[in-house]
Amino acid sequence: MNKILPHSTEYISPSRTIETLTLANQKDSRLVHIYNYEGNHFRFFDSYLSLIAFFQKGIEPEISFSSEKELDRFLEGYC
């Protein structure tokens, strides 16, 4: 199970944020980004480049969630 360590939260608007997190377990750690759209849709990015591609070119990530609970379960097992 991963530890989820927050780095920063950038507010694009009051209801849209980009969270940068470190997911760490005993063997590895990884920096990831979550785009939270109004608390109803969460997009997961495993690199900064994929996050930039989403905003500049509209390239959707492969992984997204419609609830924070689903996202949390995914993050606990990702690495």
Write down the residue that tokens 């609970």 correspond to: 69
Encode pLDDT of 18-67 as tens digits: 999 999 998 899 999 999 999 999 999 999 999 999 999 999 999 999 99
pLDDT at 79 over 80: no
pTM of the model: 0.92
* Residue-number span of the structural domain to which 28 is assigned: 3-77
43 within 8 A of 50, measured Cβ to Cβ: no
**Confidence grade of residue 1 (pLDDT, cut at 50, 70, 90):** confident
How many structural domains compose the chain? 1
pLDDT at 78 over 90: no
Measured CA distances, 49 to 13, 17, 18 (Å): 21, 17, 14
